[in-house]
Structure 1
Amino acid sequence: RDEIQTVYKILATILHLGNLTFGVDGDVTLIENTKPVSVIRDLLSTKEENVEKALLYRTVATGRDVIEKQHTTQEASYGRDALAKAMYERLFCWIVG
């Protein structure tokens, strides 16, 4: 029963990721519609800030320093789609395997 609930949560997360759109305010990329973020937060049992950070930033290690670089809207959209595809692929492999 728990496994079925987990599958439903993962599928719902993938669907809600597809509802996210990104925009620009000045030179800052942001999520335009925040309702799916709170739904994804609840489905993944995490904080809203974690969801936003994962979608809007990438972490780059340069020597001893770690830098967070903000995505462009195109990069954020690509990352959103890549995350959804990776989640679906891993779910499919887990079910079939």
Structure 2
Amino acid sequence: MSTSTLPVESTATTAIPDQPWQTVVWNDPVNLMSYVTYVFRSYFGYARERAEALMLAVHHDGHAVVAEGARETMERHVQAMHDFGLWATVRKAPQ
């Protein structure tokens, strides 16, 4: 009687990470540019130069992507921006 070994098929699957999401801050006629810079510095911890560059993008382009990552984190950022009085939304990052 002969015993043979059969290959075992793997049933493990590889998790594909969720597509990144973005927090987008939009321009509004209410908040001062200095305040928007302050929010980016105080909440996100950005250096003055980075915060000012993002604020200028909001001002000149109408919006700026201020963070990218997991959806839940981006939703928390949007809520924080709303708490600061800024208009922000979540969107999927382009591929």
Q: Could you say which TM-score interval applies, normalised by the shorter chain?
A: 0.3 to 0.5
Q: TM-score, normalised by structure 2?
A: 0.32
Greater fraction of residues in helix: 1
Greater RCO (Cα-Cα under 8 Å, separation 6 or more)? 2
The structure with more radius of gyration: 2
Q: TM-score, normalised by structure 1?
A: 0.32
